[in-house]
Amino acid sequence: MSKNKIAKWAELAAFPNVVQHSTGYLQATDHHLKGKWKRDMFANENPLVIELGCGKGEYTTGLSFMFPEKNFIGVDIKGARMWRGARTALEQKLDNAAFQILIRDQRIPENGSPARGSLTNTGSS
C-alpha cells in the first residue's frame, strides 16, 4: 500500500462524515447508526438516498449540493478512493453527505495467508 493511501486511510478515520466497519462486524452486531442515520448522522428527518459503489463520491457530493433537502450516503469498499468525496463534502460544508466504508473480512487459512478474493463465511447460503 502506498504512503498516500495510508495517509488517506488515517485521515478518513478522523472525518466526522465517514463510518468504517468490517462486513463481519456489521453482520455480528447492531450498527450504532442502524435506524438512526437521519437523527444521529444528519440531525434531521430528511429522506435518505444511498449510492452503492460510490467510488470517489462525485455523485454523492454533487447530488447533496443540488438537493439539500435530502441526505446522501455513499457506500464503497475502497476507502482511499472515497477520501476525495468525503473531503469535498467537508470542505464545501455539505452536511447532508456521509460515507460508509465496508471493509471486507477475509478468511485466513491456517498458513496465515489470505486466499485471494475470499470472504468470511457468514454461515448462510
Query: What are the structural domains of the chain?
Result: 46-106 (3.40.50.150)
Report long-range pairs for 106-113 (Cβ below 8 Å, ≥24 apart). Answer: none
Query: What is the pLDDT at residue 115?
Result: 45
Residues 101, 15: Cα–Cα separation, whole Å: 12
pLDDT per residue as tens digits for the range 11-49: 888 999 998 865 555 555 666 677 788 988 899 999 999
Residues 32, 1: Cα–Cα separation, whole Å: 30
Query: What is the pLDDT at residue 40?
Result: 85
CB 54 within 8 A of CB 81: no
What is the reported pTM? 0.74
Residue 52 has φ and ψ, to the nearest 5°, of -85, 135
CB 86 within 8 A of CB 12: yes
pLDDT per residue as tens digits for the range 45-87: 999 999 999 999 999 999 999 999 999 999 998 888 899 999 9
Residues 16, 35: Cα–Cα separation, whole Å: 18
Say if residue 5's pLDDT is above 70. Answer: yes
Residues 110, 47: Cα–Cα separation, whole Å: 46
